[in-house]
Structure formats: structure tokens, C-alpha cells
């Protein structure tokens, strides 16, 4: 009995481990915390490892807000795991920088990047341009073209938005709209009255609108544009008033155990091949002169909502309190 069982277990173990065996040859490990969607994170990591076969990347994917909670738990335990962070927004990076958690990388090659995409002191580097707009299920009776349209009574209870408790993009989107004249906190109060409730992350918004559980969603651009191209019955709309944007910055932690590999990872993301990969995955690249993804073909011009990042960082506690008051916990 023992022998037969041992045989079965060994066979199972071999099946389970076979795919992992090939990576044993790698010599060094880089730990990455990222808020990219699962498959994009995998593709990014795979491309990086293909370019640097001696570095093995271990990564964790979660919403930016949740990754920060995880990271703070690890700071408290005196054992921060990641070497490098690739998260939604620069405001979060600024808060880490203010706490002296980041490591500057002044030698990074930022040629081809407009000022403002990266930190002037080179603590973090924007890698993409991701805006937040509206996704519509094609079965929907209305095609909203502005943020104000989401307040229409005939859309009541049909709109889903990502939760700032999960998504960094959602946090920035709320902060930017709260600053915008004509929108402001009053806009969110009226959204809440129209039964808009923040749920999970952007992926969850995508799932609900693609599945038809809700007909309208507030969401980052690349997800619906990409799903649209794959035959999912949805459409992405850039609302008239303008959209908020995040840059998905990358940064090295001061506590990084493998600083060299972390620098290679930053180099890779802001290099031309790294930017072309982002474009191939459906993201608007941050580097000028790299062709935008095919999914953006119909997009001519997009107006951005003005955004005061320093004010958002300063008012962080107030913003969170307002969100709690308007939408509940």
C-alpha cells in the first residue's frame, strides 16, 4: 500500500513540478510587486527574463492600495520583500518617497521622455499613460458621452466603478475629478445618489460590464479597448469633460536586496523594447515616438483633466474621509 501510494504521489509531484524545473538554473532573484493585470504582469516578466536569463523574477499582483497594505505590514515586520514596485500612480510613489522608502536611480536613461513623466530626482519613472473613462455594454440603451451623463436617472443602478480601496487608478480618478471645476465632491454625491457603488478593481468592473451584470462602468482605458478587440461586446468612451491619467510608475525600494537586478528591470521598462511591449499589450506607451497600440486606432485627441498631484498627496486623509462619507466603507 505504502509503495503504491508513494508511486502515485511521486508521479503527481513530478507533474506538478515539471514546469518549474526549467527555472532552477537561474542565479539571482528579483522580487516585484505590481498592480498590472495578471497576464500583463506575466508577459512583462517573461520578456524581462528572456532579456536577462540570469535573473529570475518572483512577483505578486494585487490592487495598488492592497499592495501598499501588504508592503506596510512587511515594513512593520522589518522584512520588506520586494526589490521593485510597479504600481498605478505617482502619488503613492511620492508618499513612499516622503517616507524615505525609495532608492533614487539618477543614472537611468530617460531620453525620449517628456518632463513630468518621471520624478525630477529620479526616484520613480512613469512607464505608460493610462486614462480612466467609461465602458458601455453594447446592449445598453444609452451611450453616455460625458461624466455628467452618468447622473441620468435612466442609468440609475446600472453603473459600476472601481473601488479606491483596491485600485490606485480609481483613487487618482476620484482625486482629479474632486479637484475639477464643474465636477467636485458634489459630482460624487450625486453619483452615489444614482446608486453608483465602488466594488473591486478595474478587472472586476470589466467583468461586470462584459458579462452584462451592469451596463456602464468607470474604468481604465486599455482593458475595454483590448476586450473589445477580442470580441467582447463592449465599447470604451473618453468623456467630453476630459479624463484623469496615471503613469504606472516603477521604483526601486531602499530596502531592495538585489539593487542591480532592480535597476535592470527599470532600464527594461523605460527602454524602447520595453515601451514597444507595453504598446503591444494595449497600453499607451509613455515614451514619445513609440507607436500607440492598434486598439487606440480610432482615438484622435483626448483632453486630460488638470491634476494637482502635490495637493492630492497633501489632502490624502481628507480625500479618503470624503470617499468614506459619500460611499460608505
Partner 1 sequence: MTLGPTFRRANDTSFVEAVLIGFLCLFVAALIVWPMVRLALEAIAPGGTPTLAPMFETLREAATWRAAWRSFETSLVGALGAVALGGAFAFLVALTDIRAKLALVFCFMLPMMVPPAVTALSWATLAGPASPLLKAVGLAPPPGSDNPMYSAGGIMLLLAIQHAPLAFLVLRAGLRAIPRELVEAGRLSGAGTAEIARSIVAPILWPSIAAALALAFVSALGNFGIPAILGIGERYYVLPTLIYVRLSSQGPTVLTQAAILSLIVAAIGVAAVMLQLFATRRASMRLAARPGAPLALNLGRWRLLVEAAAWTLLVVILVLPLLALIATALVPAYGVPLSSATATLENFREVLLRQAATIRAFANSFWLSVGAAVVLAALALPLGYALVWKRSRLAAAIATAADVPYALPGVVLAIAMILVFLRPLPIIDLSLYGTVWLIFVAYLARFFVLAAKPVIAGFQQLDPRLDEAARVAGAGFVMRARTILVPVLAPVAIAGGLLVFLTAFNELTVSALLWSAGSETLGVVIFNLEDSGLPTLAAAISVISVAVMFAAMGLLQAISKRLPAGVLPWGNDR
Residues 14-53 that bind partner 1 (CB under 8 A): 16-17, 19-20, 31, 33, 37-39, 42, 45-46
Q: Shortest distance, CB of residue 317 to partner 1, whole angstroms? A: 13
Using the Cα atoms of residue 270, residue 272, residue 277 and residue 278 in order, give the sign of their dihedral.
positive
Verify binding: residue 235, partner 1, rule CB under 8 A: no
Of 51, 148, 180, 232, the one binding partner 1 by CB under 8 A: 232
Asked if 249 and 87 touch (Cβ cutoff 8 Å), the reply is yes
Q: Which is nearer to partner 1, 34 or 179 (CB)?
A: 34
What are the backbone angles phi and psi of residue 33, rounded to the nearest 5°?
-105, 125
Q: No. of H helices and E strands in the chain?
A: 12, 13
C-alpha cell at 312: 492630492
Residue 157 is classified by DSSP as: T
Interaction between residue 151 and partner 1 (CB under 8 A) = no
Phi, psi dihedral angles at 187 (to 5 degrees): -60, -45
Q: Hunting for cell 523605460 — which residue is that?
A: 270
- Cβ contact 176:90 at 8 Å: no
- As a whole number of angstroms, the distance between CA 56 and CA 168 comes to 27
Q: Is 215 in the site for partner 1 (CB under 8 A)?
A: yes
- Contact between 94 and 123 (Cβ < 8 Å): no
Which of 7, 11, 28, 69: binder of partner 1 (CB under 8 A)? 69
Nearer to partner 1, 294 or 304 (CB): 294
CB of 185 to partner 1, least distance (A): 20
**CB of 138: closest distance to partner 1 in angstroms?**
9
Q: Which residues pair with 57 in a beta bridge?
A: 30
Q: Which of 24, 25, 115, 139 binds partner 1 (CB under 8 A)?
A: 139
Span from 74-82, 88-96, 99-107, 311-319 in contact with partner 1 (CB under 8 A): 74-82
Residues 129 and 225: their CA atoms lie apart, in Å, by 14
Number of chain positions touching partner 1 (CB under 8 A): 71
Q: Which stretch binds partner 1 (CB under 8 A): 99-107, 171-179, 224-232, 277-285?
A: 224-232
Q: Select from 24, 27, 32 the least CA-distant residue to 81.
A: 32
Q: Does 325 bind partner 1 (CB under 8 A)?
A: no
Asked whether the beta carbons of 189 and 328 are under 8 A apart, the reply is no
Residues in region 175-214 near partner 1 by CB under 8 A: 197, 199-207, 210-214
Measured from the CB of residue 248, what is the shortest distance to partner 1 in angstroms?
16
To partner 1, the closest distance from the beta carbon of 76 in angstroms equals: 5
Q: C-alpha cell of 163? A: 473601488
Q: How far is the CB of 106 from partner 1 (least distance, A)?
A: 28
Residue 29 C-beta: closest distance to partner 1, Å: 9
- Comparing CB distances to partner 1, the nearer of 63 and 144 is 63
| Three-class DSSP category at 18 | helix
Residue 137, C-alpha cell as written in the block = 455594454
Smallest separation (angstroms) from partner 1 to the CB of 208: 8
Which residues within the stretch 75-104 sit at the binding site for partner 1 (CB under 8 A)?
Answer: 76-79, 81-82
How long, in residues, is the chain?
A: 329
58 interacts with partner 1 by CB under 8 A: yes
Amino acid at each position: 500500500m505504502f509503495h503504491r501510494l508513494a508511486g502515485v504521489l511521486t508521479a503527481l509531484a513530478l507533474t506538478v513540478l515539471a514546469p518549474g524545473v526549467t527555472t532552477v538554473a537561474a542565479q539571482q532573484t528579483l522580487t516585484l510587486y505590481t498592480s498590472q493585470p495578471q497576464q500583463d504582469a506575466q508577459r512583462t516578466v517573461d520578456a524581462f527574463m528572456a532579456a536577462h536569463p540570469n535573473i529570475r523574477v518572483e512577483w505578486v499582483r494585487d490592487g495598488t492600495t492592497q499592495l501598499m497594505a501588504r508592503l506596510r505590514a512587511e515594513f512593520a515586520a522589518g522584512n520588506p520583500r520586494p526589490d521593485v514596485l510597479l504600481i498605478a500612480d505617482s502619488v503613492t510613489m511620492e508618499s513612499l518617497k516622503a517616507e524615505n522608502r525609495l532608492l533614487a536611480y539618477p543614472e537611468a536613461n530617460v531620453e525620449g521622455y517628456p518632463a513630468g513623466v518621471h520624478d525630477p530626482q529620479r526616484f520613480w519613472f512613469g512607464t505608460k499613460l493610462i486614462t480612466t473613462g467609461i465602458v458601455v455594454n453594447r446592449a445598453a440603451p444609452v451611450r453616455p458621452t460625458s461624466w455628467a451623463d452618468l447622473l441620468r436617472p435612466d442609468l440609475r443602478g446600472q453603473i459600476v466603478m472601481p473601488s479606491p480601496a483596491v485600485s490606485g487608478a480609481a483613487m487618482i480618478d476620484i482625486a482629479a475629478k474632486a479637484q475639477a471645476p464643474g465636477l467636485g465632491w458634489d459630482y460624487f454625491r450625486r453619483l452615489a445618489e444614482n446608486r453608483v457603488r465602488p466594488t473591486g478593481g478595474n478587472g472586476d468592473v470589466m467583468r461586470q460590464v462584459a458579462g452584462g451584470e451592469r451596463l456602464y462602468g468607470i474604468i481604465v482605458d486599455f482593458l475595454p479597448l483590448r476586450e473589445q478587440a477580442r470580441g467582447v461586446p463592449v465599447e470604451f468612451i473618453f468623456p467630453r469633460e476630459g479624463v484623469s491619467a496615471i503613469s504606472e510608475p516603477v521604483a526601486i525600494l531602499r530596502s531592495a536586496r538585489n539593487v542591480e537586478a532592480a535597476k535592470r528591470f527599470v532600464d527594461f521598462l523605460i527602454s524602447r523594447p520595453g515601451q514597444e511591449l507595453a504598446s503591444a499589450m494595449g497600453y499607451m506607451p509613455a515614451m514619445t515616438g513609440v507607436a500607440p497600440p492598434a486598439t487606440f486606432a480610432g482615438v484622435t485627441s483626448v483632453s486630460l483633466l488638470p491634476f494637482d498631484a502635490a495637493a492630492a498627496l497633501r489632502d490624502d486623509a481628507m480625500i479618503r474621509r470624503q470617499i468614506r462619507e459619500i460611499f460608505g466603507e
